[in-house]
Amino acid sequence: MARLSVSGDGLKVGNRRACERAGFERRRLGGAIPKGILTLWRSPPRRSPAQEVLAMESRIASSSDPPWPVGLVPKVRRAGGIVFDRVVWSVDRIFDYRHGTDTSGTIKLRDLRIGSKNVDHGRQYEPSPPNLFKQGMASLSIDHADFIFVDFGAGKGRTLLMASNFPFAEVIGVEFSEELHRIAQRNLAIYKSRRIRCAHRRSVCADATEYELPDANLVIYLANSFDGVVLAKVLSNIEKVAARRKVYLIYCEAIFSSLVDASGALPYKKPIKLPRLIMRRPRAFSSLIVYSNQKL
């Protein structure tokens, strides 16, 4: 039965469930109306906003199962993220503990003395996780001896150390910070792993846009060390080599992958699915794409 307004004093007549859902109170009229045939419902009195708030607090306090406190879930997630981040960074430092090197940690560019005009287009130093690098290298089916490895934004040189475990013709790191370049040189001198298979390793202090790539088959590693302004110029240099040589680009944290797609220099593309534990935090090192001018 549809609800019907009986008078202006808030009385209604209608379906029991609909009236109860609307918050109406049942009003008994004694024997005036036969039981079960018609029931009158009275709407609750109107309350001010302040009274509504007090009533809500009263219901929450009297509830045996109070709701989850507002804001607690984000706090728990943030705390969990901090713990996860610290655990992963502790594991990340194992690389340095094993080899006596200094490649861990993050360094903001404002804490470094950099004379390059592209300093505003760079990103902080943050080393690539070893597992991430291994995932990228495992996707290549090449004869390493026929290729030169180049890392743009090499920083302290961890990627150079890991790349020297492959029999590349040469391993080169390009870094525009003189301080990080010197640390990379020390790390290259310290690193004495029995897995080293490339004797020619070096770090070059140069701006990525001004560095002239070797006229050889290349494996280029890029961990999103700079923004799209610098990347566009680097891609232009890569395009010149790709016109006559084999070129592979391992692009991790591929934020500006659309620029690589649009350049057309490396038409073949292969996204690599990464294990979740590789990520240090949400959306950091969460993507890995291999580009090439050869079929993948």
**pLDDT (tens digit, 9 = 90+) per residue, 140-164?**
999 999 999 999 999 999 999 999 9
Q: 3-state class of 160 per DSSP?
A: helix
pTM tops 0.85: no
Q: DSSP readout, 3-43?
A: -EE--TTSEEE--HHHHHHTTPEEE--TTSS-TTT--EEEP
The Cα–Cα gap between 162 and 180 comes to 17
Pair 269, 293: CB distance under 8 Å: no
Q: DSSP readout, 54-106?
A: HHHHHHHHH-SSPPPPTTHHHHHHHHHHHHHHHHHHHHHTHHHHHHT----S-
What is the reported pLDDT for 73?
A: 61
* Position 72 pLDDT exceeds 50: yes
Which of 274 and 74 is assigned the larger pLDDT?
Answer: 274
Which token pair is 15?
A: 């379906």
The Cα–Cα gap between 137 and 22 comes to 64
What is the reported pLDDT for 131?
A: 83
* Position 188 pLDDT exceeds 80: yes
Which of 166 and 39 is assigned the larger pLDDT?
Answer: 166
Q: Please, which pLDDT band fits residue 296 given cuts at 50, 70 and 90?
A: confident
CB atoms within 10 A of CB 64: 4
**pLDDT (tens digit, 9 = 90+) per residue, 76-115?**
666 666 565 566 566 678 888 888 999 988 888 888 888 8
| Sheet with 201-205, edge to edge strand ranges | 201-205, 170-175, 148-152, 218-222, 247-252, 288-292, 268-272
What is the reported pLDDT for 88?
A: 59
Over the range 120-151, which residues count as b (16 or more CB within 10 Å of their CB) and which as e? ebbeebbbbbbebbebbbebbebebeebbbbb
